[in-house]
A and B are shown apart, each in its own frame.
Chain A
Amino acid sequence: MNTSMRRRKFLYTSGLGALGALAGCLGSKSPPPRKSSVVADFETSDGSLVIDLADETWVMSRYEPNHQSISGVSPIGIASAKGKGGGVGGRGATGRGSGGYSSAPRTKHGHAWFYGGDYADDWYEDHGNEVSRYGVGIAALGIAYLGSTEAMKDDAPDAGPVAWDETFDNPDDTVAYDLTSRNEFNRDGWYRVGTHVVGSDTDHDFRWECYDLEVTGLGDEKFTIEEQWKVSPRI
């Protein structure tokens, strides 16, 4: 390799490297989704979606409790937003609605972790002193039909509550809901299950932990859950 070729290679490599590094440093600094344990499993049984809540429910948060608590936590109410999406993309697994489910990183309960990945573990390692684990209670659980598989490819909602079609206040450990019982539910496609979590020992509203499920076969009442994604707000 002569000098000119080496120089060219050096310039190309350093140019691409510098641009890549800049993109990495400046393109997205979003923290990863928060870790939590809220729903242990989703099952299907006799036409019903069975939501099995975790035995121990908690969320990781950067919330710093102060000692000026004014009153007990009062759930803010069931969300019914129909508004805009946030557009807060970032790193990590993003295959929800468009493939990539099988290779997505998994949560402790086995759900695919939206926006999760190695960088998330790195972030938690680097910011260990900023996050704490808080025990939470589930003030409400909501279920909503998000849209067809095709529609989700272009318009998957961000983390957070959506316009719930059905809600359960202070749900039991297991919630069973017959998805075929209502017209708005009896469709293949994507469903969101959301849990409104509030601090058990802390006066703080941790808002919503959500799960997006792709359900098929609803017409013949033997539906299956093809994909289960945990969609958490960023910590």
Chain B
Amino acid sequence: MSNTRTDTGTLLALTFVVSFCSFAYEFVYSELLTVMYGGTVTQYVITVGLYFFSLGIGAALSDDLDATDLGGNFFRTEVFLAAVAPAGFLLIVALNSVRIPQSIPSEVIWMTARLPVVVVGFLSGFELPLLTHMVDELEDGEATMPNWLRSTCGQIHEIMVSILGTVWNVKRTDGRRSGLSLVLAMDYVGGLAGAVVYARVLYPGIGLIPTIFVLALLNGIAALVFVAHFGDWAWWPVGGGKRTSRELSIGHVSKTLLVVCLVLTASYAGVVAKHDTADEQLSELYLEQQIENRYPPGAMRATVTSQETTTYQHVIRYNRTWTGTGPNPYFTGRTEQCLRLGSAVQLCESWADSYHQGLVDVPMSLVEPGPKTNVLVVGGGDWIAIDHLREYDVSVDHVDLDGEFMQQAKTDPFFRTWHDDAYEYDRLNTTTADGYHYLQETNETYDLVLLDIPGATDDDLLTLYSAEFYRSVRNHLSDEGVVATWGYSPDSYPQHHKAFVNTVGTAGFTNQLSYWVREDLDSDGQSERVEKFYVFAPGERRPLTGDGETAYVRTHEQYRTVKWHAVPRYRGVRVNSIFHPNYDILVDT
């Protein structure tokens, strides 16, 4: 009886562990797919949906597994899970790193990227039925439960029945718990633990890449514990040895699979022990490949020089080096330093200046310089836009969410080159807050609002591209006020563009100026496009050129042809709203 209790306890503990892993895998995949493809809600909902669907398929097919080899099949399932889960993770990363021929339909890529979710769900679907049958096979009911578990379950049961009795008619039963109820209960507890530990410990503590290896390690250990406990292993201290005919037998376990399991577990243990290095190297590899894929094959080499994660964003510094044949068409020289925030390129040495000229020096032609002009900068935690505004002696309110990044940028030599300690500007008032909430609370009005914000690459930024946000900006504009922002190319991102202009138009902006900032980036005597900008206004405004034009606009001929136009509107394109998001506004970079 004592051995049987230990066996049941072992199986229930294993149920907890495999359920923990199974749930956590899906969260890892959901987050990874969000990072890769954007759209948090979509990715989480689809992943969870696919997971439960596959779980059901696996559970339904589990009846076809040989009932005389429950243990062997459970062991195989765990080894396969330990192997497949990290492989699936790497597959998704690879899909976003390697060059995929353009002839492959996007549906195929979509399905391939969700395959790991389906496979892990399918394999996990075997676990519960197998464990239930094994618990049932050991001994019927409560008598086989370890004393501590029986006592705990009894107490919880008493409390739950008392609560039920307040609303329903209940009749206390002292009968035995079935194997299914025990395993299900442990499965749900394991699932909850997996969710909480993933959200509070693993993901924030060690990151996504090491987490998948921790989970696979747990799966591997679970498989080894199982085979050690229920196999014929004399060295196993608990419950090993010869078993009676009533007890669970593990059946035949392939030695090859056992070796595979040992190797995988040992490898994962090594990765987890060195998780900092593994995380850094894998993410560097992925990032470098992703950056290089933006250029023709063999044209550019990317080397990540540093990366850190603040509360709000992933800050990546890298060098890009021209390795193509012929002259470098992207920038002067062979190597330059760039900065990415998340998946969006934020700054490169070759165009840092011209970007900020487009953001600040062009729209400054539409307002008067001097302290009476109020300017709001949303974002711009690198302080560079502030440096440009300082030249016009205007009063600046600056709001950025990421105080940690702003603090680092103050002293970072790379940023200091560009911002020239602009954070010390005496007409500057900086607030660390979310731009949308800041506008909800402030009573200030502004002559110029500059949106120096990241691209619309994930759900977290949907608010800053919503009709509510732009309506709020419009409500804080002075009579002649305008808002300026950078924008994606309508040719490269047509769906984003249409959703964006419809959103801005709905917020009450009727007129727009759009222009490209150009610079001779590669010193070939011809200027290239650097960035596209938009200035929006809720009515007619003065022309860009003329009496008020800045020195920058005056010296660049291209702005002579830039005129105000009506903000276009496109039929059948939904506005992006906070409570009814249009995910077309998100771009896949």
Binding site for B on A (CB under 8 A): 4, 7-8, 11, 15, 18-20, 22-24, 26-31, 61-64, 66, 68-71, 74-77, 79-91, 94-100, 127, 129-131, 147, 151, 153-156, 158-161, 163, 203-205, 207-208, 233-234
Residues of B within 8 A of A26 (CB): 42, 46, 110
Query: How many Å lie between the Cα of A94 and that of B57 in the bound state?
Result: 35
Tell me if B418 is interfacial: C-beta within 8 Å of chain A: no
- Decide: A15 near B54, CB < 8 A? Known: A79-B529, A233-B494: yes
- Sorted nearest first, the 5 A-B pairs with minimum C-beta distance are A160-B491, A86-B492, A27-B110, A130-B572, A130-B571
Query: How many Å lie between the Cα of A136 and that of B482 in the bound state?
Result: 31
- Decide: A95 near B529, CB < 8 A? Known: A26-B46, A233-B490: no
Residues of A within 8 A of B329 (CB): 82, 163
B489 contact from A66, A80, A160, A163, Cβ within 8 A: A160
- Decide: A80 near B527, CB < 8 A? Known: A19-B114, A27-B106, A87-B589: yes
- Central interface residue in A27, A91, A97, A207, by most chain B CB within 10 Å: A27
- Can you spell out 21 A-B residue pairs with CB atoms less than 8 angstroms apart? A20-B111, A27-B111, A28-B106, A63-B568, A63-B570, A70-B511, A76-B516, A76-B561, A76-B562, A85-B294, A87-B589, A90-B106, A151-B296, A154-B99, A154-B101, A155-B297, A156-B102, A159-B491, A159-B494, A160-B489, A207-B490
Tell me if B103 is interfacial: C-beta within 8 Å of chain A: yes
Instruction: Quote the shortest CB–CB distance from A201 to chain B (angstroms).
Output: 15
Query: How many Å lie between the Cα of A95 and that of B101 in the bound state?
Result: 10
Chain B residues with a Cβ closer than 8 Å to the other chain, count: 66
Residues of A within 8 A of B106 (CB): 27-28, 89-91
Residues of A within 8 A of B57 (CB): 11, 15
Tell me if B528 is interfacial: C-beta within 8 Å of chain A: yes
Q: Tell me if B53 and A18 are in contact (CB < 8 A).
A: yes
Residue of A with least CB distance to B566: A68
Residue of B with least CB distance to A29: B584
Tell me if B510 is interfacial: C-beta within 8 Å of chain A: yes
Q: B486-513: which residues lie under 8 A (CB-CB) from chain A?
A: 489-495, 498, 510-511
**A contacts with B: majority SS:** loop
Instruction: Quote the shortest CB–CB distance from A65 to chain B (angstroms).
Output: 8
- Decide: A84 near B294, CB < 8 A? Known: A90-B106, A98-B103, A207-B490: yes
Query: How many Å lie between the Cα of A191 and that of B183 in the bound state?
Result: 65
Q: Tell me if B489 and A86 are in contact (CB < 8 A).
A: yes
Q: Tell me if B571 and A131 are in contact (CB < 8 A).
A: yes
Q: Tell me if B572 and A127 are in contact (CB < 8 A).
A: yes
B296 contact from A97, A155, A203, Cβ within 8 A: A155
Query: How many Å lie between the Cα of A84 and that of B531 in the bound state?
Result: 11
Q: Tell me if B529 and A80 are in contact (CB < 8 A).
A: yes
Q: Tell me if B570 and A203 are in contact (CB < 8 A).
A: no
Query: How many Å lie between the Cα of A120 and that of B101 in the bound state?
Result: 22
- Decide: A233 near B529, CB < 8 A? Known: A23-B110, A63-B570: no
Tell me if B242 is interfacial: C-beta within 8 Å of chain A: no
Q: Tell me if B528 and A80 are in contact (CB < 8 A).
A: yes
Query: How many Å lie between the Cα of A64 and that of B566 in the bound state?
Result: 11
Residues of A within 8 A of B54 (CB): 15
Q: Tell me if A87 and B103 are in contact (CB < 8 A).
A: no
- Decide: A203 near B565, CB < 8 A? Known: A11-B57, A31-B495, A98-B101: yes
Tell me if B540 is interfacial: C-beta within 8 Å of chain A: yes
The digit string for B550-574, where 1 denotes a CB below 8 A from any CB of A, is: 0000000010011111101111110
- Decide: A77 near B64, CB < 8 A? Known: A28-B110, A203-B566: no
Query: How many Å lie between the Cα of A225 and that of B329 in the bound state?
Result: 28
Query: How many Å lie between the Cα of A175 and that of B75 in the bound state?
Result: 72
Residues of A within 8 A of B527 (CB): 80
Residue of B with least CB distance to A80: B528
Residues of A within 8 A of B61 (CB): 8, 11
Residues of A within 8 A of B589 (CB): 87
Residues of A within 8 A of B296 (CB): 147, 151, 154-155
